[in-house]
Structure 1
Amino acid sequence: MDVLNIMRHESVFNPANYPYPFHIIGAGATGSRVFAALVELGITNITVYDDDSIEDHNLANQIYMAKDINELKVVGCKRFVEAKLGTVPETMTFYNGRVTPALINNGYVNGGIVFLLTDTMDSRRKIFDSLANRNASGTAISNNIQLTTAPMLIIETRMGSTHGSVFSVNPFDKNACNAWRETLVDDTDEDIIELSPCGTTLSVGTTAALIANYAVWQMMQFFVDPLALQPQIDFFFKPTLTIPSTAIAA
């Protein structure tokens, strides 16, 4: 018997019908909640990539617990799934490290769905370009090694304190890739990045939860009704306080 009983949502989304790899690059406010949502859907073929550690201020907007402070975020994710399911599925991988073009060219992040959720625009652009540059046959050549497949879909999110955006990009569609690139902003632009009075980026847990869950819904839409998939969706949860939707908080 499966550990997770999915009878309540199986008719809406049955993970057994979509045996693809799922990659979460960045396990912060959005990424950790995406991971939790995938686990609760019954998806087990998940790889989480992150090189950061859990700090006390992460507890307010991420899935981690007090006992996880000072542990790696990938360890926190592993503990989450073990607490939820009573075990860690053998098909789950927790990679303590940054995803870089070199890592991708060495055979990582292959196929399936990619949630691109790192904490800078620059890193997202570099990772996206490395994934999208895999040719139309879904392979790339590096050091005479033929890699497997390019992702079917790249989902990327932006988040401020009261608003956010979810982007869904077909990496084989050049027009879609270029349209996404045009939305990128400078990480150092203080007019766009939303900061708290103490100078750190703002991040509200309820906003992160909404954005993360909608990102997962976009993944579900891609599988069950791909023609209805929207390339960009913007959210404004409290319009009187909104700032440009390009703002990002990890």
Structure 2
Amino acid sequence: MKILIIEDEKKLSDSIRSYLESQKYLCEQAFNFSDAKMKVGVYDYDCVLLDLMLPGGNGLDILREIRKCHNPVGVIIISAKDSLDDKLTGLEIGADDYLPKPFPLPELSMRIYALIRRKEFSANNILQSAAVSINLLERQATVNDIPIELTKTEYELLLFFISNRGKVITKSAIAEHLSGEMADMLDSFDFIYSHIKNLKAKLAECGCTEIIKTIYGMGYKWIEE
């Protein structure tokens, strides 16, 4: 799951990123209004953590832009501005949650988890597709009831495939999901091929074969058996 942290206080932003990455989230950062506006307009995220007071503009205007474009991304406002008016305005515009500073990082993590689970997985803790089962809370995958050990990237890749089951996913979409803005600077998709090959091998070891299908010239597709 990929998260954008929009927070101008670098120490706090880095602290949030470090903690969430320890929870196996993929994180990107924006420290000012213009950078944040660019990223939400160009890249896809599962959740946006949004501070309201930003150099160059108001975070509520970024929220307005997100919803104006019908972007369904989950948005949690994280702000020292805890007046009722700010909270109500944010929720009216389209924020999903509001967490006033200061806050415990474990609480932020659980708010993110609850939001993503509600939006993307119909509030279920267990994601099931064919013989593959993922415990979202424990971040553990099993195939035919056999636990499989996945790297952080392989786990994110597996979630991405299952979340888009039945759809053709382009190599560029996979690259952007796994590496964010760094995808624009890649010379090739070799790292994607490597991760997909490793994931397919681990699934096959547990008896789950041919579930990730290569669509030549287009990308890949998760096929539910």
TM-score (norm 1): 0.26
| Bigger relative contact order, structure 1 or 2 (CA pairs below 8 A, ≥6 apart) | 1
The answer to which structure has the higher strand fraction is: 2
Which has more radius of gyration? 2
TM-score (norm 2): 0.28
